[in-house]
């Protein structure tokens, strides 16, 4: 009787704390990705476009690794994506990056050209 009016408040406080923790974790990831982008010089960007596999690796390091693991061999959230050859064509991987698949959200931060570069990189590291 005495404690019961407090329970809803405790629940709301708990939800708030969890939400804030989740949101700040995302914010830190995004800031790291932005900083990485800003640290690259314009010159490097031009070289990257010349070589989609080099560009793709760098782009994959910006966000795919968050879910698929640092070596793309599977993370806490996503499955391994370092052995996709035979499972998906480059076009299909591009499509997955841009539109998501199952519980993977669309990675809209990448342009279609960047998604193609990542696809080529993933197929290049596939056995
Ligand atoms: C927010 C976490 C998250 C991020 C970021 C993410 N993925 Fe995923 N990805 C997933 C999850 C979860 C799945 C499994 C989806 C399912 O089957 O329900 C998945 C599945 C995939 C698949 C299909 C794998 C298979 O064997 O069927 C590919 C390909 C893929 N991701 C590529 C990428 C690439 C490339 C990037 C970076 C551009 C990326 N993902 C970023 C979570 C993520």
Does the predicted TM-score (pTM) go above 0.75? Answer: no
Please state the atom number of ligand 1 nearest to the C-alpha of residue 63. 5
11-53 tens-digit pLDDT = 888 888 888 888 888 777 777 666 666 665 544 444 445 789 9
Distance 81 CA to ligand 1 centre (A): 7
3-12 tens-digit pLDDT = 577 788 888 8
**Long-range contacts: 106-115, Cβ < 8 Å, 24+?**
107/63, 107/64, 109/33, 109/62, 109/63, 110/59, 113/49, 114/55, 114/59
Average the pLDDT over 100-124 and give the result: 96
Distance 90 CA to ligand 1 centre (A): 14
The CATH superfamily assigned to 42-127 is: Cytochrome c-like domain (1.10.760.10)
Query: How do the domains of the chain map onto residue ranges?
Result: 1-39, 42-127
């Amino acid at each position: 009787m005495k404690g019961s009016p407090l329970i809803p408040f405790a629940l709301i406080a708990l939800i708030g704390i969890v939400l804030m923790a989740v949101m700040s974790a995302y914010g830190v990831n995004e800031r790291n990705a932005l900083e990485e982008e800003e640290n690259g010089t314009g010159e490097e960007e031009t070289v990257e476009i010349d070589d989609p596999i080099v560009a793709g690796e760098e782009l994959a390091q910006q966000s795919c690794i968050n879910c698929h693991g640092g070596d793309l061999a599977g993370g806490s959230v996503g499955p391994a994506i370092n052995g996709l050859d035979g499972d998906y064509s480059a076009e299909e991987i591009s499509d997955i990056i841009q539109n998501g698949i199952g519980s993977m959200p669309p990675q809209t931060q990448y342009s279609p050209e960047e998604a193609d570069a990542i696809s080529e990189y993933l197929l290049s590291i596939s056995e």
